[in-house]
Structures are given as structure tokens and as C-alpha cells.
Chains A and B, each alone.
Chain A
Amino acid sequence: MPSFHPGKTFMMDSSVPLTSPSRRAGALSELRQRVTGRWLFALLLVLGCAVLSLLVLAPLYTLLSKSVENKAGDFVGLDNFAHYLSSGGIESAFFNSLWVAGLSTLVVVGLAFMAAWALTRTRLPMTGWIRGVLVLPILAPSLLPAISLVYLFGNQGVLKSWLFGAEIYGPIGIIMGSCFWTFPHALMILLTAMDNADGRHYEAATALKASPWRTFWTVTVPGARYGLVSAAFVVFTLVITDFGVPKVIGGQFDVLATDIYKQVIGQQKFEMGAVVSVLLLLPAMLAFLADRYVQRKQSASFTARSVPYRPRRDHRRDVIGAVMLAPTILFILAIIGMAVYASFVTFWPYNLELSLNNYQFGRMDGGGWGAYTNSLQMALGTMVIGTLLVFFNAWLMERTPQPRLLTGVFQFLSLLPLAVPGLVLGLSYIFFFNHPDNPINGIYGTLFILILCTVSHFYAVSHLTAVTALKQLDQEFEAVGESLKASRWRVLFTVTLPLCLPAILDVALYLFVNAMTTVSAVVFLYGHDSQLASVAVLNMDEAGDIAPAAAMAILITTTCAAAKLIQGGLRFWVDRSTRAWRQGTE
């Protein structure tokens, strides 16, 4: 807001006549107009903050307060934590979670770095297809690799002997399964970091007579270091908060995520579930904060003057790249192939004849085809509501005048879901929305609360995508619009939205796929009429119907793949119809 120093202006030029009353009234109405124009946007963003507070902050607060109350709701301080500690939960679940997540992180980041190197620093053929295979796991629910591993290495597994007598049910299974589904996340971060290499740095290294090995350690690795750190934090958080893999293949091996489930679903000890949630929230929050800290230090090393790196033809290097990629590709294809095969086998391992028996979900518990259509509705709802909400809020934050404090608060609220494990979010939704005093507790047990929960769960990444796209637009578009008497809304619809269409499609697909595959947040929230496909996989597996579980997991994966194809087609269409004006800009 402007600050006035009337005395000062008056002294500076005494010839300016004093404002007449009528003119002053005019100025006042102008001021009001200006203020309402600005306030409208600020008010809308305040509303955005309120929505996010309601969807994330308030439930989390209820969860935290629940962890220091007893069953009757009286404040008991840290008694619950002491109780959990004395029951030995810390030693088993907490440390188990830490080392399993740590080891998985090492393996995944190592493999992903090798793959990213092979894809960006060699000239292997068919890299498009290779990339496609490597990110396939992202379309599958995290339960799928676990089920597949049971078929491969379980008691009746085809490759059981490969483990030399070790059990797949336990840490080995959890780590292998986690590696499968977190790999694409790490790969995409590293590809982004390594795709934008500055060719000049490599030329300088060559000119200074550095060996390929030295170039690798002095140019390639430093260039990717922020990507490596970020990938490590992301994978660690994903593994430690994941519930699907350890639930299916963890056996007697306790981790925090399964512990929450057991406390809440098995023993109905909600306050103990809250305690374990807080313990799970801690490492996730720490990883989140550390990642934000590292990201802040990162400055763009790829400037407008950089020259994109093009790897030279070098057959030896191509062979090394292929060797690095092969195990990962084989592992991914084996896991998916096994699940597909198992879903068609009539009765493992006694009747290997192929049939569609396992796809007749109506015959099993778990919700049947109804669960699948529920999932579709939920995913579409999440996609539509989420994309609209995310983009509108990101636009308010990036492209309208906002008080700095407000954008800071909003940014915090938008990124917060990144630090909140799905299980924790789901449990806090129980506490918050199922509370008898909550005026909107009617949505509890409906598809709508599942949509709200999923939108919040995956808000942060969508928000970051939207903000990145909006930031890339010329900062002066709105200023030009103002000078041409166009409102911000008109600039939004005629310029900003058309330019952001690719990013909007990306966000929509991201929300759809995650809504189809997620288990962790929704496992506490589905009701009798709102069973979901991903939860059905879990329940059928628990009931021993492992082949139908595999079939449902494959169905989910196929649906996501179809969504990806549709989205790819749309993007192709958008790219083609906008090729004329993108020409030369990319």
C-alpha cells in the first residue's frame, strides 16, 4: 500500500493547488477501486490458504493432539509415547524402517544414476523405448511388485532357489519391492538434472586433457549432485512412508507404516496409531526440510548462454551404458511380466493353464468390479478438482499482485503435503472428519472424502509443476495486458492457460495415476459403498486370493497406461496444433 507524506509533497511544490473536495471524492473512489482490485486476488488466495488448512493443517493438528490424549480424550502428555517405547516398538519398527529405507535409497539412487548416465551420456539407440520401460513402475500400485516377488521368490516361487535359502518375506522383499516402484521417481529427477548439461564444460575438460574418468568425476557428478541429493531424499521418504510393499511381503518384519495399520485396523488403538504416525512424520519432515534446504542452495547452472551437451559417438561407452541399463530393465520387465502371467494362471502352481478366472472379481471379496469403477470415479474426480484447484491457486500466487507474507504462507501450505506420509494423512482425516462436532462429517465414508484426501496427498508435486510452468512465462504479460486495458482474467484465458496447456495435462495425468494406485491414505477412509481397486488388491491378498489381487493390480496398471496413452495423444495434438508458434522457441 502507498504511504503518504502530504506535508512533504506540499512543501516540495507549493504551486500545486490543494485538492478540491469533489476531486478528493473522485480520488477516494479511485483508491477504493484499486484496493478492491488488489484485495480480490489477495482474498481469493486467502481462501486458497483456508482450503489447504482445512485439508491438511487442521487434520494434522487433530492427529498431533490425539497422540497426547488417552482413549477417553483426556490429556496425558507423552504417556502414549512412553507406552509405545516400553512395548519395544521403537527398537523394532522405527529402526527397521530407517535401515530398510536407507538401504533401498542407496540401491535405487545408484541404479537410477547409472541409468540416467547411460541415457544422457551415451548414444544408445531406442532411448525413447528404454525410458518408457524404465518409468513403467510409476503406473503400477506399489502392491504389484510385492505380489510379483511372492510369485518369483515366495514359498512356491519359480526362482526361490536364487535366494540360497533366505526368506523373501521380510527386509529382502521390502527392499526389492521398494526399489521397483521408487526407481522412476529417482530416475526422473536425475534425468532432469543431467539432461541440461552444458557442453562447454565437457569441451573445456577435453581441452585441458582430462581423462574420461576424471571428466566424469569433475564435470558429470558435480553437475548432478543436487539431483542426487534430491533423489535420495525423495526415495527415502517414499520407502519409509510406503505401506503396500511391507504389508504384502513384510511377513513378521515390523516397520512403522505397517505398525500404524495394525494399531488402527487390527487393534482399534487410534491413539497409538497417532503416536506411530508422529514417529513416521519425523523422518519424513526431516527429509523434506533437508531437501528444501539443498534446493535453495541450487542455482541454475544452465544459463541462456550454455550449449546443450551432445555425446560423441563412442562404442565402448555405449556398451558400458547398455551393461548398466540391462539389469534394471530386466528386473522391471520380470516383475511386470510375472504379475501379468500370474494373473492369467488358473491355479498357481498346480494348474498353469491360462484363463480369465482371476479377473472375475465378482466372485471374490474386496468389492469386485464396483471397487474398480469407484476407483475410476475417484481418480477422475481427483484429476478434475485437483487440476483446477492447483492451477488456480498457483496462478493467484504467481501471476497476481499478492502481499509477500501471504504467498509465503501459501507456499508452505502447498508443500506441506510432501512431508506428510499418506497413512498419516489418512489417519488424521479419520480424527478430523469423523469427529461428531465437525459440521461436514457427512462426507465421511463417501467417495468425496477420498477425492479430497487424494488431492491433498498429491498437492505439492502438482503445485510445483504448475508454479514452474507459470514462472517460465514472461513476467510482463500481465503488465502488457494492463497497458492494453485487458483484465488479468482476460490475460489468463487468452494467454496464460493456452501456454500452460502441456503442464496442465501433466498435472492431470499425475493426479489420475496416483489416485488410481494409491493405497496408503485411502486405506483408512473407504466406506462400504466406496471401496477402491487398490484397496481391493490389498484385501484380496490378505484373504489369500493372491492371483485375483495380481489381476486387479494389472487392471489398475493397464488403466493408468491407457490414461498415459490418452494424455500422450492429447499432448501430441496440442504440440502439433501449436507447433507454428512454438517454432524456434524450443
Chain B
Amino acid sequence: MIQHTQGSRLEVRGVNKFFGEFCALKDINLTIEPGELVCFLGPSGCGKTTLLRIIAGLEQQSCGTLRQGDVDISQKPPRDRDFGIVFQSYALFPNMTVIDNVAYGLRSIGMPKARVRDRVDELLAVVGLEDHARKYPAQLSGGQQQRVALARALAPSPGLLLLDEPLSALDAKVRHHLRSEIRSLQKQLGVTTIMVTHDQEEALAMADRVVVMNNGVIEQVGTPLDIYQQPASAFVASFIGAMNFFDSAPVNGQRVRLGNRELDLVRPLPATPDGIRLAIRPEDVHLLPQGDGEWEGQVQAMDYLGAFIRTHVRLHGVELDLVVDVDPRSARQLELRVGGAVCLNLPSDALHCFAA
């Protein structure tokens, strides 16, 4: 059995990063618990990779502090920090065999030869590459290279594992497989892990907590479920999954106006002088047989996406377009067809409300 690592706790306090006038990161505060897998998720240019590189010491923050365990690492060079890293390109040393790649970090710290060999064997067994030990990276598939990179990063038993878009260079099938493999390996080792990704599905599937970033700020930190069901901002709501948005106006308390109707909300309204935006996920809209629902509309288009049908409905009276996901069986029961009429409800517990 592979030796367990004690994952370390990481604390990021007030980190800012400027590139000249451009503010790449603005007041980042974040605590990552030992053994946690946290994903930094956001569109390209949101600062997630910069934050990862600052944690690694490959970039210097303009201000702010970093603590790993009890140690202030803010000013330490990468060599004096305790982490392993896997890059998007893997950056495997092409002139070395799998063994030499994995052993590289162990030899740097002067581990005795016999122990290096044992440790490398152990790691190659864990990532399932015993049979490829003497091959060179160019002789391996993308997925195998990825595993070598992972084994190399984990070999010195770092307290922190940093993954920079580790799966984006792979094709979809390998990616899905490696996703669960990395996750179970990480759980087994208990190493604190930060993964940068722009793939929301990946983040939701793997992370204990997701850090959603945009324009250099953290929009929301939460479990995948939190992030999906309770998005803290319109950005998070639109970035993660699909979402319908409508402009609306507050009436009073928890009532809002949509078209010529008023709706009650479960959640309190955001305090904002301007208008508000209502939002609902496509799968949360209830389609009903004709004459049963509060709203009436006409089906404009139907996209068959396999497990469900993405239906575009225009609501009468308010002239709003709504996207509704419906499973094929319900669609048959409702006799959905393009041009046909349909009724629907907008359940108030599924309605989100954001400042405009």
C-alpha cells in the first residue's frame, strides 16, 4: 500500500496581482483544508492560472500572504515550498525514461538509491504503468503521459498537489476515465489538491469545493451542489449549467413583477436600487398539459440532445423566450411538437433572483 501523505492546509490572504496597470487578481482570500480537492473554475483570463502559479511561487504576488500549514510561504522560492505540480503540457523530460522522470525529484533530495527504486515502483503500480517503466514519454499515449506526470509530482510526497488544466489535452473518453482515477488516488493519498480548469463538468464531478473566478475576483466558493443550486451571482448562474434570465422589477418584500403578473419568491430579494433579474434552470420549468399551467406558450424549436429534449418556448403575453429541458417520455405524453401550444409553471422555489 502506498504511503499516506499528510495533506497541508493552505491559506491565501489578501492576494493581489498586477501586471503593469492590469489587475489580474483582486483581493483573493481563500482557505483550503487538508486533504481537500478544490477546483479553480472560470473562463480563460479570469486569473485562475495566475493564482495557481502564485501558490506555487512561480509568480510573485503584488501583495498578500500565503501560509501552508504553519509556515508563511509568501516570499519563499518554489524550491523551498512543498508542492508537486502537473502542467497542461505535462512537461515530462523527453530524454528520460518513465522511471527517471518519476525518480527525478527523489534524486534531487538525495534519497538513497534503493529507496528511490522502491518508491518509483510503488508509484508506477498506483498509476498502473509498471509495464511501461523503461519507455520514453514519446512512446506513451497522452493518458499514460498524464499519469507519469502525476506520479512524478507525487513521488516526493508533497503536502500540496497543483494541477494546471491536467486533462484538457486529452480526448473525451480518456478524460472521463482519468477524472475518476485522479479523484480516487487523491482521496487515497489525502493530499491537498488544487486543480485549475475551465471545464465546469470536470470541476463539478471532481471537486470537494469549487472556486468560481471571473475577472480576477472570486465570485463564489462552495460545494458543487451549492454552486449549481445556489449561484451567488448572475455570472456563476450563467457560467455553470444553463440558465434562463428575465428582466424583472421588485414589487415589495418577496414579490416581483414578470410581464403583467406578480410572483412570490422563496428567497429574499437582493438589495439593489436598479432592476433585478430572475433566473430559472431549464430543467426546473414544469411543462404541463394544455389548460393546466399558469403560463401559456408556443413551442418554437426542439433540439434532441439524447437524454433530454431542449425545447424553446415563447410565453404569451410577456413575449419571453424560455429554454426548457424535458425528458423524451414526458415530451411524448405532452404531445410536444414545434408550433404546438404548451402550458408551464415557474416553481417559486426554483426561481433565482440577482441584481441587474
Interface of A toward B, CB cutoff 8 Å: 1-5, 8-9, 12-13, 16, 23, 27, 30-31, 33-34, 37, 474-477, 479-487, 490, 494-495, 498-499, 578, 580-585
Contacts and interface: CB of A to CB of B under 8 A. Distances in A.
Given A499-B94, A581-B95, A474 B89 contact: yes
A581 B105 contact: no
A498 B91 CA distance: 15
Interface of B: 13-14, 16, 27, 29, 56-58, 60-65, 72, 75-81, 83-85, 87, 89, 91, 93-96, 104-105, 108-109, 136-139, 152-153, 155-156, 158, 162
Contact of B13 (A12, A30, A499, A584): A12
A584 B61 CA distance: 39
Contact of B108 (A31, A474, A484, A581): A484
A512 B317 CA distance: 85
23 contacts: A2-B63, A5-B62, A5-B63, A9-B14, A12-B27, A12-B29, A16-B65, A27-B75, A30-B76, A30-B80, A479-B56, A479-B58, A482-B58, A483-B158, A484-B104, A484-B156, A485-B79, A485-B105, A485-B108, A486-B105, A494-B104, A578-B95, A584-B139
A476 B87 contact: yes
Nearest to B63: A5
Contact of B138 (A477, A495, A584): A584
A517 to B, nearest CB: 34
A480 B138 contact: no
Nearest to B94: A581
B156 A13 contact: no
Of A475, A485, A490, chain B has the most CB atoms within 10 Å of the CB of A485
Contacts of A33: 77, 80
B108 A486 contact: yes
Contacts of B75: 2, 27, 30-31, 34
Nearest to A1: B60
Contacts of A490: 108
A480 B77 contact: no
B152 to A, nearest CB: 7
A1 B109 CA distance: 28
B91 A479 contact: yes
Contact of B136 (A2, A479, A483, A581): A581
A466 B71 CA distance: 41
B56 A16 contact: no
Contacts of A583: 136, 138-139
B278 to A, nearest CB: 34
A499 B91 contact: no
A485 B156 contact: yes
Contacts of B91: 474, 476-477, 479-480
Contacts of B62: 2-3, 5
Contacts of B14: 8-9, 12-13
A8 B80 CA distance: 26
Contacts of A8: 14, 63
Given A37-B77, A583-B136, A3 B95 contact: no
Contacts of A581: 94-96, 136-139
Contacts of A23: 72
